[in-house]
Amino acid sequence: MYRQPDFSHPRFQNAPDARFQAAPADGVLPEGFFSTTNLPTYVRVGGEWKLPRDPRMDSALVLDPDNVPRVLEGRYVRRGQMVAMGFAEDGAEGIYVHASGLMGDPDMGPEGEFKFMSSEVSREKPTDYPEMARILVDERERGGHFIWVVGPAVLHSRGRDTLAWFVNNGYVGVLFGGNAVAVHDIEAATMGTTLGMNGRGVPVEGGHAFHMRAINRVRAAGSIRAAVEQGIIETGIMHALVTSGVPYVLTGSIRDDGPLPDTITDVVAGQEAMKVHTRRATGVIMIATALHSIATGNMLPSYVYREDTGEVRPLTTICVDSSEFVVSKLKDRGTHQAFGVITNAQDFLHVLRHYVEIEAASRQPAAVA
Amino acid sequence: MYRQPDFSHPRFQNAPDARFQAAPADGVLPEGFFSTTNLPTYVRVGGEWKLPRDPRMDSALVLDPDNVPRVLEGRYVRRGQMVAMGFAEDGAEGIYVHASGLMGDPDMGPEGEFKFMSSEVSREKPTDYPEMARILVDERERGGHFIWVVGPAVLHSRGRDTLAWFVNNGYVGVLFGGNAVAVHDIEAATMGTTLGMNGRGVPVEGGHAFHMRAINRVRAAGSIRAAVEQGIIETGIMHALVTSGVPYVLTGSIRDDGPLPDTITDVVAGQEAMKVHTRRATGVIMIATALHSIATGNMLPSYVYREDTGEVRPLTTICVDSSEFVVSKLKDRGTHQAFGVITNAQDFLHVLRHYVEIEAASRQPAAVA
Amino acid sequence: MYRQPDFSHPRFQNAPDARFQAAPADGVLPEGFFSTTNLPTYVRVGGEWKLPRDPRMDSALVLDPDNVPRVLEGRYVRRGQMVAMGFAEDGAEGIYVHASGLMGDPDMGPEGEFKFMSSEVSREKPTDYPEMARILVDERERGGHFIWVVGPAVLHSRGRDTLAWFVNNGYVGVLFGGNAVAVHDIEAATMGTTLGMNGRGVPVEGGHAFHMRAINRVRAAGSIRAAVEQGIIETGIMHALVTSGVPYVLTGSIRDDGPLPDTITDVVAGQEAMKVHTRRATGVIMIATALHSIATGNMLPSYVYREDTGEVRPLTTICVDSSEFVVSKLKDRGTHQAFGVITNAQDFLHVLRHYVEIEAASRQPAAVA
Amino acid sequence: MYRQPDFSHPRFQNAPDARFQAAPADGVLPEGFFSTTNLPTYVRVGGEWKLPRDPRMDSALVLDPDNVPRVLEGRYVRRGQMVAMGFAEDGAEGIYVHASGLMGDPDMGPEGEFKFMSSEVSREKPTDYPEMARILVDERERGGHFIWVVGPAVLHSRGRDTLAWFVNNGYVGVLFGGNAVAVHDIEAATMGTTLGMNGRGVPVEGGHAFHMRAINRVRAAGSIRAAVEQGIIETGIMHALVTSGVPYVLTGSIRDDGPLPDTITDVVAGQEAMKVHTRRATGVIMIATALHSIATGNMLPSYVYREDTGEVRPLTTICVDSSEFVVSKLKDRGTHQAFGVITNAQDFLHVLRHYVEIEAASRQPAAVA
């Protein structure tokens, strides 16, 4: 189960002994100390590669009187005690971290460098908004077809305005969603609430039925477009899509109320309507909807292929959800080149717009004097 | 188990029959239709209160040929079919939703109005940033003592700068946190990484040990203050606290590396150091740390009491976490008047600063011409 | 914002002073000590109701030399120090917890008793398996119609066998699910994997396509029933349903592969097929599927109504998910009388069967000697 | 960004053309069809390697009239249409999935086989209870030192009894936990509640203070051992530990109430007490406590090293939590050879005991006739 390193290999034969340096004070290590991992770590002492006593991570290496190394927390090192030095984990400085010796260690890089935080999706990782902004502006400039897949959580007050801004400014190639996202957007446009709550999240009287009243008005008008044209819908995402001429595909789910006349209730027909767009997609951004995101992910290749030029490049994917589970699941489904962002949909859109505005402004040609 | 309504009560005796109106088109309800809930709902027809057939929520009420009401999805209503009208659920318009008849319904308001989204913490609720900004600016103006409790997730690139901004601009009365938040802030100041990752979330070579190198430098300097004064720490949250003279309490946990010289390793002594501040707190904001947030919540009263004036008012609490579980748990611990925000720490700080700047600017006296 | 108690009320006028007793040792409180909450708490001393200094929860009440009460952690109480006694929080023993004084405290019971853990869904609450088992056996005995709504997470090895056991033993009135739950059940029956993994969770070679091969075989057979009759499907949930004559409704979603010939792809038609069963449901158990659970919850009333006898009783609902969010959301949708269980689907079924077997055995008539 | 395959390589030069077979019916594929992934997939037709049109996963490959392959969902294939056959993705049967062409694809195996569900921790993966049971029984037989790290969620009614069973039957080498796990265990022993709730999860009157009364009794007795010896604690985990002579280490946290006299309040001293056991650990099982699990994980090597024999083997780690986040985080901290189990603590213990009893019974020598 454990594979010993082959110390007859020249890289080990030619390695020096580990270098040691005295600690400058009690509980203080010399700058450049070797910091341990929890993996089997061989220290070369007197030409011999030895495993240390008391192994653990985030600690220093000292020598016991019998010349066997020992792992010791920095706080217990005494002034003048000799401490192993160096950064290399490949044996070149006399210390070798043998990551590959334990089977099935997927978190190791080549040559066994130990890495923290190697799982790819985590609320504790920074989000590279400037890079996402750069991609969105690039795609707009070169006429890409970016798919936005959104769930109802984008709708609360400012999120809805911000998404309409992205539509109106040319960043949305097509919008995919369910019946609910349109229903609650139109509820906001016609009744002033989302999910029966006002903009501060407080339920209003009778609010539980407001989405049903919104649906009924669109059914009476005949379609979302007709409701926009008749002045029933004057704000929001669906309004922005209709007035900007950006297409949308609303597909049904078994939990739908209504549905709206525009919602495609047959799921196979719905996939066909989506396919018109997934075929020519150059990127996708999926926000706060596991169902529609996975549906879209299932239909998208991991790459963009131009048959005329033969060019192949990765398809950009941005997944946003409050939960690591959903974002990881999208990766499990085989969606690569993903930005995984663990955050609130409304905050995501707010911050993304901020960076997109900066990026777009930076590309404006200077005005002529 | 089910309590029948007492229809001998005058409010029921004096109620009219339910009013019906013809549907204007197939699948379209008349404006002002009654929208059902899933609760027992009595409809007064010919002077009698009757339960409908096929009860379900989000639907309309029609009459069967035998004058018994039936619940019917709007999409199945035919043109001219008579549909029950009204918004009142208390019987005043001939329809009574009997919420209290089923025991143990905590989600019902008085008189049984049905409410959606009644649980208080959800990623699907809007966040009232303007109100939080107003409170923070108010507290700064009146010299309140606002406690900020923060976990390491605030530290990634922009989150760290933004929190330093709040410190430098007088919004932080005291900062509570663990060893880790200071360690990773100082890792960023000295090594340029957080948790071994660069600003784009990519692990750097040797990065797993960078926080240990940061700790060692502070141990060598003697304290965080000393490290700031010696120029070892030139940016970040701890730097802002030291240079602004804002106090901080770092308390130890069993998972700590190092620790830093400033970290109070005895938890009872740590609670005493926190108590100096909880005693005079006027508000608390807790971001991305269950442990320290619950510790602080345990020590805080739900109110502010001024012994001199006898005034009592609720203590403002803002809890921010990626997970409903943590925020709900804080409420379970008995922390009231909470704003529960389900989002990413970095995005939260970014958006909150945006609204605080707007609020603070709105209070500037106009410049004299 | 804060409502003072009305101490002129007889219940306060007639109350005694708080009773104090000496601490038996340093850091030890007398048995029967009053334990504080974080709410405004008035202590009657010398006929006066006074708020204590240093309020916090989970602590004791002592008297300062000026006869003002002070909240003090038990560990700081000294031997012989006088400590307030009693359990009553309504003033009857001279201590009054004024819960209702702070607006909007939904967690307070009548008379303001403070309660821990009042939010209803939490992984930290015990699960009442014996009670659920009792209900399931009751329903089987009286011929109820219990709806089981299940997601693919029930399928892994033992979960699948256990669910088939519930079908075969008469506990399932109808099964609702999506295309995926049947696909992966049939993948297990025909290919020996679920989601391409073997029973130990290890992906097998070529496994990513096994569910597509399973779908294709059922399409070739013509239906699930035909595939069972032709011996293509010999184990599992769908096999148990077909051979036991228990109905099922498989409804489509936009993310479906295939789909299977039995899957109803039009969501409005799917709701109609479900309605046949929701109309006569006496209970529902929803396991590991937000989509289908919410769909079912939307269609179910909160009660069972027998038109012939006029009887109304609550409809039993059991919701099982790994995440508090989903279970809470079902409650937000208005599903009451719910058992909310936060656990793994497979473990839930295993433990539930254990208790159902005990319950069913306890009802067997004793064998005659 | 995209690396073309090198089709001059012999493996490609010597490969056959892809093989095609007629579909047996409309919407039905021939058994043995090639099932697509979302990765660049080259099909050899007439000696040329070609990328198909309309790439997506979980579909079939057909030929367009111009001999360019096209990806087509199985449901659209017509009877007699020629469909690409085979399972090999390495080109050996004329189809090559070029996984490594897109940078940074960590989910690919060698030679680019596409894998579903490659992330290691998920509520949707089966749990290998029989294997965990085998390891626990093995460890007991060979005198291993298994560390159990537990949080308060293990305590609810049946979880507490089951954990005491593991202690009494020799499966626990040492128990690590916080003050809270002992407090609530002793609350159950002395007051009959956990977190103020009875066994059915219902808060009892005055229950919010029951844990404080439990702490006070142990403080009065002097220690947990003394409280057991004085008959104050007669059931539960701490009782089992004391009466079985199994050691435990309770370490403090900043959120503790009390604390109990046995709780080590200094976290550095706490780590030292844990180190006595981590040094000789042969395995660890961590249930429902992020804090103590990470603390333990930080101190444990990933391997067991016997200095006398020089043997090295992986250290078994079992992590149990309701949330993927915590279990993944433990892996991020560098804990390998982990079983990650996403479930409820009480259910986990119930099911694990079931399998351990089966495993232990299977090893009994047969009784002599």
Query: Is the distance from CB of C104 to CB of B90 less than 8 angstroms?
Result: no
**Lowest mean pLDDT: which of B325-334, C247-256, D252-261?**
B325-334
pLDDT grade, residue D332 (50/70/90)? low
**What percent of chain C lies above the pLDDT cut of 90?**
59
Look at residue D277 in the predicted model and tell me its pLDDT. Answer: 95
Q: State the average pLDDT over residues D258-275.
A: 95
> Cβ atoms within 10 A of the Cβ of C90, count?
15
pLDDT of C255 above 60: yes
Q: Which of B25, B116, B213 sits opposite A220 (nearest CB)?
A: B25
Contact C255 A294 (CB under 8 A): yes
Does residue C2 fall inside a structural domain? Answer: no
Same domain membership, residue D43 and residue D145? no
Domain span including residue B158: 112-362
> What does the pLDDT look like over C120-129, one tens digit per residue?
556 666 678 8
Q: Which of B4, B116, B313 sits opposite C2 (nearest CB)?
A: B313
DSSP letter string, B214-246: HHHHHHHHSSHHHHHHTTS--SHHHHHHHHHT-
Nearest residue in chain C measured CA to CA from A296: C255
Same domain membership, residue C146 and residue C69? no
pLDDT of D55 above 90: no
pLDDT grade, residue A361 (50/70/90)? very high
> What does the pLDDT look like over B261-290, one tens digit per residue?
999 999 999 999 999 999 899 999 999 998
C-alpha A3/C-alpha C202 separation (Å) is 22
> Cβ atoms within 10 A of the Cβ of C142, count?
8
Q: Which of C38, C114, C298 sits opposite B301 (nearest CB)?
A: C38
Same domain membership, residue B179 and residue B117? yes
Distance from CA of B202 to the nearest CA of A (A): 9
Does residue C37 fall inside a structural domain? Answer: yes
Residues of D in contact with C206 (CB under 8 A): 87, 113
The owner of tokens 């974080």 is: C38
With 0-12 / 13-18 / 19 or more C-beta atoms within 10 angstroms meaning exposed / middle / buried, residue B310 is exposed
Nearest residue in chain A measured CA to CA from C291: A255
β-strands B82-84, C316-321: how paired?
Answer: unpaired
Look at residue A146 in the predicted model and tell me its pLDDT. Answer: 96
> Cβ atoms within 10 A of the Cβ of D208, count?
24
Total tally of structural domains belonging to chain B: 2
Q: Which of B28, B158, B322 sits opposite A220 (nearest CB)?
A: B28
Look at residue B102 in the predicted model and tell me its pLDDT. Answer: 63
* Among candidate residues B181, B157, B196, the one with its CA nearest the CA of residue B287: B181
Look at residue C114 in the predicted model and tell me its pLDDT. Answer: 35
Does residue D242 fall inside a structural domain? Answer: yes
Contact A208 B131 (CB under 8 A): no
Nearest residue in chain B measured CA to CA from C3: B312
* Among candidate residues B145, B132, B153, B151, the one with its CA nearest the CA of residue B171: B145
The mean pLDDT value of chain C amounts to: 86
Domain limit, last residue, from D97, D120, D147: D97
Nearest residue in chain C measured CA to CA from D73: C258
C-alpha C151/C-alpha C179 separation (Å) is 10
Query: Is the distance from CB of C218 to CB of C260 less than 8 angstroms?
Result: yes
Does residue C287 fall inside a structural domain? Answer: yes
Greater confidence, B204 or C271?
A: C271
Look at residue A112 in the predicted model and tell me its pLDDT. Answer: 33
The count of CB pairs under 8 A between chains A and B is 190
Same domain membership, residue D323 and residue D273? yes
Contact A57 D334 (CB under 8 A): yes
Helix (H) or strand (E) holding B285: strand B283-287
Query: Is the distance from CB of C171 to CB of C251 less than 8 angstroms?
Result: no
Highest average pLDDT, of A120-129, B331-340, D170-179, comes from D170-179
Same domain membership, residue A161 and residue A71? no
Length reported for chain B? 369
Interface test with C, best of B336, B337, B339, B342 (most C CBs within 10 A): B336
> Cβ atoms within 10 A of the Cβ of B368, count?
4
pLDDT of A122 above 50: yes
pLDDT of C7 above 60: yes
C-alpha B176/C-alpha D136 separation (Å) is 41
Q: Which of C75, C156, C323 sits opposite D126 (nearest CB)?
A: C156
Residues of B in contact with C327 (CB under 8 A): none
Distance from CA of B197 to the nearest CA of D (A): 13
Alpha-carbon distances, residue C73 vs B275, B307, C62, D209, D271 (angstroms): 11, 20, 10, 13, 26
AA identity, residue B261: P
Residues of D in contact with A53 (CB under 8 A): 307
The count of CB pairs under 8 A between chains B and C is 149
Domain limit, last residue, from A62, A97, A132: A97
pLDDT of C105 above 70: no
Distance from CA of C33 to the nearest CA of D (A): 8
- Domain of D230, CATH number, reads 3.40.50.10690
Contact C123 D152 (CB under 8 A): no
Distance from CA of C65 to the nearest CA of A (A): 45
C-alpha B342/C-alpha B288 separation (Å) is 10
Distance from CA of C301 to the nearest CA of D (A): 25
Length reported for chain C? 369
Q: State the average pLDDT over residues A40-59.
A: 92
The count of CB pairs under 8 A between chains A and D is 148
Q: What angle do CA D290, D292, D297 make, to 5 degrees?
A: 90
Question: If DSSP states are collapsed to H, E and C, what string results for chain A?
Answer: CECCCCCCCHHHHCCCCCCEEECCECCECCCCECCCCCCCEEEEECCEEECCECCCCCCEEEECCCCCEEEECHHHCCCCCEEEECCCCECCCCEEECHHHECCCCCCCHHHCCCCCCCCCCCCCCCCHHHHHHHHHHHHHCCCCEEEEECHHHHCCHHHHHHHHHHHCCCCCEEEEEHHHHHHHHHHHHHCCECCECCCCCECCCHHHHHHHHHHHHHHHCCHHHHHHCCCCCCCHHHHHHHHCCCEEEECCCCCCCCCCCCECEHHHHHHHHHHHHCCCCEEEEECCHHHHHHHHHHCCCEEECCCCCCEEECEEEEEECCHHHHHHHHHCCCCCEEEEECCHHHHHHHHHHHHHHHHHHCCCCCCC
pLDDT of C238 above 60: yes
Nearest residue in chain A measured CA to CA from C333: A208
C-alpha B188/C-alpha B154 separation (Å) is 12
pLDDT of D143 above 80: yes
Distance from CA of C201 to the nearest CA of A (A): 14
Query: Is the distance from CB of D99 to CB of D112 less than 8 angstroms?
Result: yes
Look at residue B346 in the predicted model and tell me its pLDDT. Answer: 86
Rounded-to-10 torsion of CA B286, B288, B292, B293: 40
Does residue A4 fall inside a structural domain? Answer: no
Contact C74 D203 (CB under 8 A): no
Q: Which of B75, B113, B196 sits opposite A205 (nearest CB)?
A: B113
With 0-12 / 13-18 / 19 or more C-beta atoms within 10 angstroms meaning exposed / middle / buried, residue C214 is buried
Look at residue C366 in the predicted model and tell me its pLDDT. Answer: 61
Return the structure tokens found at C12.
């306060």
pLDDT grade, residue D197 (50/70/90)? confident
- The ipTM value here is 0.80
**Lowest mean pLDDT: which of A6-10, C58-62, C336-340, D71-75?**
C336-340
Look at residue A117 in the predicted model and tell me its pLDDT. Answer: 32
The owner of tokens 């079919």 is: B81
Q: How many CA atoms does the CB half-sphere of B112 hold within 13 Å? A: 21
Contact B253 D253 (CB under 8 A): yes
> Cβ atoms within 10 A of the Cβ of A86, count?
18
C-alpha D257/C-alpha C290 separation (Å) is 38
Contact C254 A256 (CB under 8 A): no
Q: State the average pLDDT over residues C281-301.
A: 91
Same domain membership, residue D252 and residue D149? yes
Domain limit, last residue, from C97, C127, C157: C97
Distance from CA of D234 to the nearest CA of B (A): 28
Look at residue D325 in the predicted model and tell me its pLDDT. Answer: 72
CA end-to-end distance (rounded Å), chain A: 74
Greater confidence, C253 or C110?
A: C253
Consecutive 10-residue runs of chain B (369 residues): their mean pLDDT?
85 95 93 88 95 89 95 92 94 89 42 37 72 94 95 84 97 97 96 82 82 91 96 97 98 94 96 93 92 90 81 85 75 58 86 95 72
Q: Which of B257, B274, B291 sits opposite D253 (nearest CB)?
A: B291
Nearest residue in chain A measured CA to CA from C254: A267
Distance from CA of D165 to the nearest CA of B (A): 27
pLDDT grade, residue C108 (50/70/90)? very low
C-alpha C237/C-alpha C257 separation (Å) is 19
Greater confidence, C51 or C239?
A: C239
pLDDT of D103 above 60: no
Does residue A20 fall inside a structural domain? Answer: yes
Look at residue B112 in the predicted model and tell me its pLDDT. Answer: 33
pTM attached to this predicted model: 0.81
Q: Which of B119, B307, B313 sits opposite C328 (nearest CB)?
A: B119
Look at residue A337 in the predicted model and tell me its pLDDT. Answer: 56
- Domain of C19, CATH number, reads 2.40.420.10
Same domain membership, residue A93 and residue A148? no
Interface test with C, best of B36, B43, B56, B66 (most C CBs within 10 A): B56
Contacts of C311 (CB under 8 A, 6+ apart): B2, C304, C305
Same domain membership, residue A213 and residue A65? no
Interface test with C, best of D56, D108, D127 (most C CBs within 10 A): D127
Residues of B in contact with C304 (CB under 8 A): none
* Among candidate residues B301, B303, B287, the one with its CA nearest the CA of residue B343: B287
pLDDT grade, residue A311 (50/70/90)? confident
Return the structure tokens found at A317.
């994917």
Residues of B in contact with C54 (CB under 8 A): 275, 279
Does residue C234 fall inside a structural domain? Answer: yes
Look at residue C106 in the predicted model and tell me its pLDDT. Answer: 36
Q: State the average pLDDT over residues D341-362.
A: 91
Helix (H) or strand (E) holding D285: strand D283-287
Helix (H) or strand (E) holding C40: none
Interface test with A, best of C253, C268, C293 (most A CBs within 10 A): C253
Query: Is the distance from CB of C56 to CB of B272 less than 8 angstroms?
Result: no
Look at residue D37 in the predicted model and tell me its pLDDT. Answer: 85
Nearest residue in chain B measured CA to CA from A213: B31
Q: Which of C300, C324, C334 sits opposite B325 (nearest CB)?
A: C324
pLDDT of A181 above 60: yes
Indicate the DSSP class of residue B69. Answer: E
Q: What angle do CA B241, B246, B250 make, to 5 degrees?
A: 70
Alpha-carbon distances, residue C269 vs C218, C264, C317 (angstroms): 22, 7, 24
> What does the pLDDT look like over A90-114, one tens digit per residue?
999 999 998 776 644 333 333 333 3
pLDDT grade, residue A124 (50/70/90)? low
Contacting subunits of B (3+ beta carbon pairs below 8 A): A, C, D
The count of CB pairs under 8 A between chains A and C is 70
The mean pLDDT value of chain A amounts to: 86
Same domain membership, residue D141 and residue D85? no
pLDDT grade, residue A121 (50/70/90)? low
Q: Which of B27, B220, B346 sits opposite A127 (nearest CB)?
A: B346
The owner of tokens 């939960």 is: A323
Nearest residue in chain D measured CA to CA from C260: D75
Same domain membership, residue C198 and residue C61? no
Does residue B308 fall inside a structural domain? Answer: yes
Look at residue A260 in the predicted model and tell me its pLDDT. Answer: 95
**Lowest mean pLDDT: which of A313-322, A333-342, C58-67, D52-61?**
A333-342
Same domain membership, residue C119 and residue C82? no
Look at residue C100 in the predicted model and tell me its pLDDT. Answer: 72
**What percent of chain A lies above the pLDDT cut of 90?**
59
Q: State the average pLDDT over residues A163-186.
A: 97
pLDDT grade, residue C111 (50/70/90)? very low
**Lowest mean pLDDT: which of A149-163, A351-365, B335-349, C139-153?**
B335-349
C-alpha D30/C-alpha A317 separation (Å) is 34
Same domain membership, residue B258 and residue B345? yes
